[in-house]
């Protein structure tokens, strides 16, 4: 969730009317997400979205996802992966270089936070402020399959909360089939099915199956 990073940025930029809102998209609710929020002790709003309603509204299919919104409520960047990278995909290889992954993340983090600071400094003059057409091009738009996928995901969450594990997984399977690009649906289903293991064998098999395709949306930052 990178909460300490966002808390530090919020503390730095809050005097300039900058607000951070973090949302944990976690079907397990506070039982799974609260420990991370409490450890970071954020002074900005930090929420838990059990039903992935925020992802549904903002067309997010993975975590992390970030939206820039100005003081008029206009979305300027709709679904950035922030400083998340692709290096992690080699973690199951015997020669994986963890330090290289961390170095990549630090470089991307510094670049992304610099872009946010530039936006706060210069507003519309910031080169990363997208036009309305550019914003629209990054959003899937209304789609009946996506709507049904969201409904099945909510049903699966409800069934899981009421102890109907097999029925919940059947509903999650429908949501994954209707929107296969949503890693959030996949990871949440695996997380609940495997008692908290959102990165088990099924996850790594699915990542490997991507081939040359990116795990996170491409970002020009």
The rounded distance, in Å, linking the Cα atoms of 199 and 2 is 18
Look up the CATH number of domain 3-137.
Answer: 3.40.30
Q: How confident is the model at residue 176, as a pLDDT?
A: 93
Residue 75's SS3 state is strand
Domain locations in the chain as residue ranges: 3-137, 144-209
The backbone torsions φ and ψ at residue 48, rounded to the nearest 5 degrees and listed phi first, read -125, 125
Output the tens digit of pLDDT for each of the chain's 221 residues.
Answer: 577 899 999 999 999 999 999 999 988 889 889 998 999 899 999 999 988 999 989 999 999 999 999 999 999 999 899 998 899 999 888 999 999 999 999 999 999 999 999 999 999 999 999 999 999 988 888 899 999 999 999 999 999 989 999 999 999 999 999 999 999 999 888 888 765 556 678 889 999 999 999 998 776 77
Closest CA to 128 of 141, 119, 136, 120: 119
Q: How confident is the model at residue 192, as a pLDDT?
A: 83
Q: Kindly report whether the global pTM for this prediction surpasses the value 0.85.
A: yes
The rounded distance, in Å, linking the Cα atoms of 55 and 72 is 21
On whether the CB atoms of residues 31 and 46 are closer than 8 A, the answer is: no
The backbone torsions φ and ψ at residue 65, rounded to the nearest 5 degrees and listed phi first, read -135, 140
């Amino acid at each position: 969730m990178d909460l300490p990073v966002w808390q530090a940025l919020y503390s730095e930029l809050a005097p300039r009317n900058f607000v951070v809102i973090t949302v944990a998209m976690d079907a397990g609710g506070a039982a799974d997400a609260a420990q991370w929020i409490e450890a970071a002790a954020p002074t900005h709003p930090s929420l838990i979205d059990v039903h992935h309603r925020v992802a549904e509204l903002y067309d997010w299919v993975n975590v992390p996802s970030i939206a820039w919104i100005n003081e008029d409520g206009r979305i300027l960047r709709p679904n950035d992966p922030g400083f998340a990278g692709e290096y992690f995909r080699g973690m199951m290889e015997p020669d994986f270089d963890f330090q290289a992954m961390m170095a990549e993340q630090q470089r991307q983090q510094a670049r992304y936070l610099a872009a946010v600071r530039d936006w706060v400094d210069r507003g519309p003059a910031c080169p990363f402020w997208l036009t309305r057409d550019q914003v629209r091009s990054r959003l899937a738009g209304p789609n009946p399959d996506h709507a049904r996928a969201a409904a099945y995901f909510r049903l699966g969450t409800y069934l899981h909360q009421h102890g109907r594990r097999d029925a919940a997984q059947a509903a999650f399977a429908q949501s994954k089939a209707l929107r296969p690009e949503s890693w959030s649906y996949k990871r949440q289903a695996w997380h609940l099915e495997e008692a908290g293991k959102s990165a088990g064998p099924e996850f790594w098999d699915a990542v490997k199956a991507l081939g040359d395709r990116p795990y996170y949306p491409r970002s020009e930052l």
